[in-house]
Amino acid sequence: MATKDVRLKHSWIEHPWLMPLVDVILAFAAFGIAYFARYELQLIRAVMEFNQAPFEPYLPYVAVYIAWLHLNYRGSGLYKTIRGRSWLDEAYTILNGVTNATVVVFSISFVLQPLVFSRLMIIYAAAVTIVLLALARVIRRTVQATLRGRGIGVQRVLVVGVGEIGLSVLRTMVSRRDQGFLPIGYLADNPDEARVDLGRVKGLGGLDNLARVLREHQVEHVVITLAWTHHDDILKMIRICQQRGVEVSVVPEVFQLNLKQVQVENLDGIPLLRVNGHVPLKGSNGLIKRAMDIVLIILASPVLILLFGLVALAIRLESKGEIFFRQKRVGENGREFDMIKFRSMIPDADKLRAELIKSHELDPRHAKLKDDPRITKVGRIIRTLSLDELPNLINVITGQMSLVGPRPPTPEEVCLYEAWHLQRLQVKPGMTGLWQISGRSEVPFDEMCLMDIYYIENWSVQLDAQILMMTIPRVLLRHGAY
């Protein structure tokens, strides 16, 4: 019986000929800029009149240079689509290719001894090429991430297995939309587990349902995360995917450990994986994160003081009652603290919470109601702009919270957590985080937890900076806030 072939849909930015063509154009432009800098601007060293030369004699060298770059980059895999490859890796490959091409051009000129040849111009061209090609990768990544954020150029992914490895894969895909994966569901070896949805990731049944799911859900990529005790099942599923033209990847069982927890060593040729217990937010990293919080608050204090005053005045003018609202929240390692916010609801709003959860069938672990009748007029404005959370800065200053991290739950919500949800309490809670910039209140609870755990496992100064910079436009555009 013939099966429908599922083909991967690419966005135009991922077309295989795009970057090679861009590199050819930019490398040629680099020589044009280098010629202008050498012979017109005469940077660094003047050109004597008898050494003046047109651009045409350099064209054969340009052709050799560009051809060598293309062959080098093809051979080194620069034009292959490798998800997760860093910009620095690409920049290093670009630098290596330009260096090799420059040496080839110099070698040819040494053999031919042309009358017209400026070594300084070739060095200019090499430097400009590196800058232009590296910048092109930055632009490509930015456009690609924007398109993927809008659902263009993403792969529909099915995850097979929801053990610790499967959950790790899911939380990475959910947290890193820029990687271009859209997890549409999962299969489990335990039929009971397969009936539970994880946020918007659907439980699609047991392993025997693979062929049907591939057919009905237009799956483009299958990621198998089963233990090797399922060796026969894994081989069978790989064959099914290959028959339908669906990409398939297998996560080795050893990758239950985060790669950042593993140091690769060898014992006279025998590979060893040493577990180093890497915890990103402990020790010196924790001090760096704390220092960043304090410095950023001090730098922003003039604007923050003005906003504090305006919001407090608006709340006071609208109604009597407390300006600030204090609520018990659960912080790092389960420690409770009083989180401070601007009051955005009517007095005694907490007493109506249980009734609203029941009447609107909300998830009690993450109860968010779009048109909450308890919210005041001023409260609706400040909640939309997230100004109600400004007093969280007091909690940050006292060390109970951080600028970036998982949002702190209430003790009642924590009582409803499953065991794996508790991992999000391993670090200080934050004012913003991955789930806030990925949809805020629109993100289901399980997806929020996956994103929080990903953040904890992959923390870096760069990740915090990225989240903070993306928070500002999300707030101004009122994305997912209510």
Q: What are the extents of the domains in the chain?
A: 12-149, 155-260+268-275, 284-476
For residues 10, 14, 17 and 22, what is the CA-based torsion angle, rounded to 10 degrees? 150
Give the pLDDT of residue 3.
38
Tell me how far apart the alpha carbons of residues 170 and 9 are, in angstroms, rounded to a whole number: 21
Tell me how far apart the alpha carbons of residues 155 and 59 are, in angstroms, rounded to a whole number: 42
Question: What is the CA angle 453-289-441, rounded to 5?
Answer: 45
Question: What is the CA angle 396-398-401, rounded to 5?
Answer: 35
pLDDT tens, 252-295? Answer: 665 555 555 555 555 455 555 554 555 567 777 888 999 999 99
Tell me how far apart the alpha carbons of residues 477 and 471 are, in angstroms, rounded to a whole number: 10
Does the pTM exceed 0.85?
no
For residues 78, 81, 85 and 87, what is the CA-based torsion angle, rounded to 10 degrees? 60
Which residues are paired to 222 by β-bridges?
A: 158, 248
| Mean pLDDT on 287-309 | 93
Tell me how far apart the alpha carbons of residues 109 and 153 are, in angstroms, rounded to a whole number: 45
Give the 3-state DSSP-derived string for 153-167, with helices as H, strands as E and coil as C.
Answer: CCEEEEEECCCHHHH
Residue 8 has pLDDT above 50, yes or no: no
Please tell me the least confidently modeled range out of 53-57, 229-233, 352-356, 447-451.
352-356
| Radius of gyration (C-alpha) of the chain in whole angstroms | 28
Give the pLDDT of residue 335.
92
AA identity, residue 19: M
Mean pLDDT rounded to a whole number for the chain: 83
Please tell me the least confidently modeled range out of 258-272, 334-348, 440-454, 456-470.
258-272
Give the pLDDT of residue 16.
80
Residue 119 has pLDDT above 80, yes or no: yes
Q: Among 3.40.50.1820, 2.60.120.10, 3.30.460.10, 3.40.50.720, what is the CATH number of 155-260+268-275?
A: 3.40.50.720
Give the pLDDT of residue 67.
94
pLDDT tens, 70-104? Answer: 998 988 889 887 777 888 989 999 999 999 999 99
Query: If 0-12 CB within 10 Å is exposed, 13-18 middle and 19+ buried, where does residue 457 land?
Result: buried
Find the length of the chain.
Answer: 482
